[in-house]
């Protein structure tokens, strides 16, 4: 069990949503999706799996419409006012129509399935607006507690991976663990077992690159791990109320070559540079935060930009971080072209990286909470290429 306790229910601030969707101009905001719709998850705190459900916010109250089988869960978890059951053979829009006055004017997110919008149009006026995806960016204390719980868990996942790599035996270029060749898939299973043991239900994609596949950024295939290669591990499991964790560390089993060591030092310096500007806290521009890292990378002669996996690029070709909550990648995003300012309560990743498609890649990633006059790093996990069998409890208690 991860050591950070978590709340059993979670509030959602609907007044913030009402402001963002300008509810005063219309009769209701309606959000429709299934359990894979992150915004619906945030608004209702319920996971309706593959079943459509709806959230309806009016000036007077908030309602969730869902299948009867989720009523008990909704009674335990829905932070709003009313629960309406959809009935067999009725569409979700019939349940919504029970909540709205006739001829209502509703706002709805552009993410809504077009079929649902057309059904709603048959009994009201529908105004399609951008998804209100700034509603969740400033995390409450309870949400920050969950973020800390997730940080605790992903660090234990990395610790398990580092232990396996530390125990592995390097033999003439091959890497063997418990008598068999170590592959990215074997390492992934060890991490997933650790995450399962901690109670995580969604493993997300356990990204593990080895050597050149590190440059694919989100490689989830199965390849052998060789000595001297970078092994890039990026975990993004999903935990309580659907909140994600995120962490990246990079290790090299066996002897560490010149390119790998230099790449690591550059990324490490970029990370320090980010922490340096983050000490200003709220108000920092997302472009400034990006540049604090990109300029370090560039200063060593590497390219930066947003090419993603261009075969001919050696450098940093992704953004340097993003907000994280019930959506794994949410605002604020960090890149040269963003112009947002960090706000107190943002929970964001800081993840500079450096890749050479012919050699490998290094990425280091922590999650921090932005504060008025600084930041709080939710991670205590050391950075280091050389894998060490650590006492993770000591690591996590070392403030």
Contacts with a second copy by CB under 8 A lie at 36, 47, 49-50, 67-73, 76, 88-89, 108, 110-115, 117-118, 128, 130, 185, 188-189, 192-193, 195-197, 199, 201-203, 205-206, 216-221, 306-310, 318, 327-329, 337
Instruction: Work out how close the CB of 257 gets to a second copy at its nearest, in angstroms, rounded to a whole number.
Output: 24
CA end-to-end span of the chain, whole Å?
20
Q: Which helix (H) or strand (E) holds 273?
A: helix 258-278
DSSP classification of residue 224: B
Pick the closer one to a second copy by CB: 189 or 261.
189
- Which tokens sit at 208? 């593990």
Smaller CB separation from a second copy, 216 or 371: 216
Residue 275 C-beta: closest distance to a second copy, Å? 26
Query: Nearest distance from residue 160's CB to a second copy, in Å?
Result: 11
Q: Specify the residue, 118 or 261, whose C-beta has the smaller distance to a second copy.
A: 118
Burial 344-373 (b: 16+ CB within 10 A, else e): bbbbbbbbbbbbbbebbbbbbbbbbbbeee
d(CA 343, CA 356): 34
Minimum distance, C-beta of residue 201 to a second copy, in the bound complex (Å) = 6
User: What's the closest the beta carbon of residue 92 comes to a second copy, in angstroms?
Assistant: 13
285, β-bridge pairs: 341
Residue with tokens 């999903």: 238
Nearer residue to a second copy within complex by CB, 6 or 170: 6
Q: Which residues pair with 129 in a beta bridge?
A: 109
50 or 394, CB closer to a second copy? Answer: 50
Strand order in 315-316's β-sheet? 303-304, 315-316, 353-356, 360-363
Identity of the residue, 18 or 120, whose beta carbon is nearer to a second copy in the bound complex: 120
Residue corresponding to tokens 């101009």 = 25
Provide, rounded to whole angstroms, the least separation between the CB of residue 12 and a second copy.
20
Q: Between residues 328 and 348, which has the closer beta carbon with respect to a second copy?
A: 328
Minimum CB–partner distance for residue 221 and a second copy (Å)? 8
CB count in 10 Å sphere of residue 71: 16
Per the structure block, which two tokens stand in for 216? 């694919």
Q: For residue 196, report the phi and psi dihedrals to the nearest 5 degrees.
A: -65, -40
Pairwise CA distance, residues 15 & 105, whole Å? 19
Task: Please identify, using beta-carbon distances, which residue of 147 and 214 lies nearer to a second copy.
Answer: 214
Q: How far is the CB of 7 from a second copy (least distance, A)?
A: 14
Contact indicator for 184, 40 with CB cutoff of 8 Å: no
Task: Kindly tell me the burial class for residue 376, based on how many C-beta atoms sit within 10 Å of its own C-beta (0-12, 13-18, 19 or more).
Answer: middle
Q: How many C-beta atoms surround the C-beta of residue 386 within 10 A?
A: 14
């Amino acid at each position: 069990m991860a050591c950070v306790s978590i709340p059993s229910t979670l509030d959602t601030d609907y007044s913030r949503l009402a402001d963002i969707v300008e509810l005063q101009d219309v009769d209701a905001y309606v959000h429709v999706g299934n359990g894979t719709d992150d915004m619906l998850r945030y608004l209702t705190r319920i996971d309706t799996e593959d079943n459509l459900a709806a959230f309806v916010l009016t000036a007077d109250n908030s309602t969730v419409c869902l299948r009867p089988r989720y009523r008990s869960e909704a009674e335990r978890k829905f932070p709003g006012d009313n629960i309406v059951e959809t009935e067999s053979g009725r569409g979700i829009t019939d349940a919504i129509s029970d909540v709205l006055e006739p001829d209502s004017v509703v706002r709805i997110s552009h993410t809504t399935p077009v079929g649902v919008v057309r059904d709603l149009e048959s009994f009201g006026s529908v105004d399609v607006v951008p998804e209100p995806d700034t509603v969740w960016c400033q995390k409450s204390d309870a949400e920050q507690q969950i973020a800390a719980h997730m940080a605790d868990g992903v660090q234990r996942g990395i610790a398990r991976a580092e232990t396996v790599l530390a125990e592995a035996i390097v033999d003439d270029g091959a890497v063997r663990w418990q008598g068999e060749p170590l592959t990215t898939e074997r390492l992934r299973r060890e991490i997933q077992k650790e995450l399962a043991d901690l109670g995580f239900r969604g493993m997300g994609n356990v990204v593990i690159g080895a050597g050149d596949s590190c440059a694919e950024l989100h490689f989830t295939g199965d390849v052998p791990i060789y000595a001297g290669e970078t092994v890039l591990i990026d975990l993004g499991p999903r935990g309580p109320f659907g909140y994600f964790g995120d962490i990246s560390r990079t290790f090299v089993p066996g002897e560490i070559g010149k390119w790998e060591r230099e790449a690591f030092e550059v990324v490490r310096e970029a990370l320090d540079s980010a922490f340096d500007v983050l000490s200003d806290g709220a108000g920092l521009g997302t472009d400034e935060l990006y540049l604090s890292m990109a300029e370090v990378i560039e200063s060593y002669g590497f390219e930066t930009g947003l090419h993603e996996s261009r075969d001919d690029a050696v450098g940093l070709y992704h953004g340097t971080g993003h907000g994280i909550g019930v959506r794994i990648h949410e605002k604020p995003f960090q890149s040269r072209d963003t112009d947002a300012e960090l706000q107190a309560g943002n929970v964001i990743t800081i993840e500079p990286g450096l890749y050479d498609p012919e050699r490998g890649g290094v990425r280091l990633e922590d999650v921090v909470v932005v504060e008025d006059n600084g930041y709080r790093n939710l991670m205590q996990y050391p950075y280091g290429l050389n894998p060490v069998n650590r006492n993770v409890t000591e690591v996590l208690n070392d403030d």
